[in-house]
Amino acid sequence: MSKILSDMRSYEYLLKGLGNGKKRKYVELRTKGALPLPAARQAGFPDPLKAAERMEKDLEVRTAIEYGVRVSAHEARVTRDDVIAGLKDAVAMATTASEMVQAWREIGKLIGAYEPTRIELSGQIDHNTVTELPDEKLLELAAIDGEFLVLDDETDDVQH
């Protein structure tokens, strides 16, 4: 059985388990992209704020939303490239610099531009040798592909 068919059956099963009440309506709205508070309000909860908090902590609800989102994405056939194209359109239509930056930031997150890069160093260098090297040689050793990796001393623990 394909993964999406399995997700569809799981989603349908989870929805049946929620019945026909407010909880099910909440899941359906969240699956379609509604934020928690508006979804709780539209589902008819008397205290939408408390209901939204409770619903978001409910494992059955969260699981149903997760499956529903996957099924919806498949049905819409939205791909990663479609999302990037849409965000590029948002950049082109941005009326302020902050809107443009926000769209580019989302593209950066999607393509993994902000993921940390791990650099593996091999070999042995003893502390005394490194401390005796002139600055020029240290800069040469620190260069990676012609660029320098700069560490922020405020966030890195430095032991002497």
Per-residue model confidence as pLDDT tens digits over 94-131: 889 888 888 888 888 888 887 776 666 566 667 777 77
Dihedral over Cα of 148, 153, 156, 159: its sign: positive
Which token pair is 23? Answer: 């909880």
Confidence of residue 145 (pLDDT cuts 50, 70, 90): low
140 or 33: which carries more pLDDT confidence? 33
CA-to-CA distance for 137 and 141, rounded, in angstroms?
6
Per-residue model confidence as pLDDT tens digits over 73-91? 766 676 778 888 888 888 8
Any bridge partners for residue 147, and if so which?
Answer: 144
Q: What is the pLDDT of residue 24?
A: 86
CA distances from 158 to 23, 151, 152, 153 (A): 52, 11, 10, 7
CA atoms of 68 and 98, how far apart (whole Å): 32
Q: What is the mean pLDDT of residues 8-26?
A: 78
Q: Residues 9-33: what's their mean pLDDT?
A: 81
Q: What's the pTM?
A: 0.45
**pLDDT for 158:** 42
C-alpha dihedral, 70 to 73 to 74 to 75, nearest 10°: 120
Structure-block tokens of residue 18: 């929620």
Is the pLDDT confidence value at 43 over 90? yes
